[in-house]
Amino acid sequence: MMALLLRARGRLFLLLSFLFSLIALFPLRTAFDMLALHENALSARAIHGAVWWGRIEQLNLAGLPLGDVEARLSPLPLFIGRARMDFVRHGSPDDMKGAVSVSNSSFGIDDVTASIGTGETFAPLPFTRIDLQDVSVRFAKGACIRAQGRVNIGLTLSTTQAFSSSLSGDAVCNGAALLLALHSQSGMEKLNMLVEGNRNYTAELVVRPSDATQAAALVDDGFVPAPGGYLLKLSGQL
């Protein structure tokens, strides 16, 4: 009887070891595809390694390049029907951390701290970088249900008196949309940006010029006179 019990325990141990090996070696690429992250504007050039610890090359979120990151699937959220993939990069000038999480009815980013170059993503808006500090945003059934964290957007106006500025504010939900209401320290530049659950956005940048020369240059850059300054408005999809 003891021998049979020991053999049964041995078979169970082998079975559990086999199942653990299957899970531990499950490809991160397959998990990325199964979660349909590409449908939520997340893409990558290449994905390597296992689901519990792998590497993603040239991760891209909604047109914003996040670069090469280490990634893993977090096991605990799986028990509440949500999949969370954590990303991290250490030891470089543009270190970052954060996660994306998805369920049947929701998608979001969690606790993201990163500095991201915008390139031409928002052109002709003169953004240069977006800095995120512990930013979390979640949409459920197309509506913003949670938003928090600090957002800073750097911009450079290509006027004859070219200058750089920085706009800061908190991420909040405004009805069903994500709202970024940012302003510079001087108050001469203000941005209102609304992002909907389908990734459509509307951005309004208002700049109060310091003199007539700068006002004329703003007009040349596509701004139009508006209450409080000169307005550049753009709609698009991330």
Range with the largest mean pLDDT of 172-176, 187-191, 225-229: 172-176
Amino acid at 229: G
69: Cα separation from own chain's centroid:
13
Look at 21 and 206; give whichever has higher pLDDT: 206
Give the pLDDT mean for 198-209: 93
Domain boundaries, the chain: 118-238
Give the pLDDT confidence score for residue 158 in this predicted structure: 67
Give residue 20's pLDDT.
46
Q: Across the chain, what does the average pLDDT equal?
A: 84
Q: What is the pLDDT of residues 3-57, one digit of tens each?
A: 433 344 444 444 434 344 445 567 888 888 887 777 777 888 999 988 888 999 9
Over the Cα atoms of the chain, what is R_g? 23
Of residues 202 and 10, which shows the higher confidence score?
202
pLDDT digits (tens, 9 = 90+) for 112-138: 999 999 888 888 888 999 999 999 999
Q: What is the pTM of this model?
A: 0.83
Average pLDDT over residues 72-87: 85
Q: Is the pLDDT of residue 70 over 90?
A: yes
Task: Encode 81-103: b = buried (16+ Cβ within 10 Å), e = exposed.
Answer: eebbbbbebeeeeeebebbbbbb
Question: How far is 84 from 57, CA to CA, in rounded Å?
Answer: 19
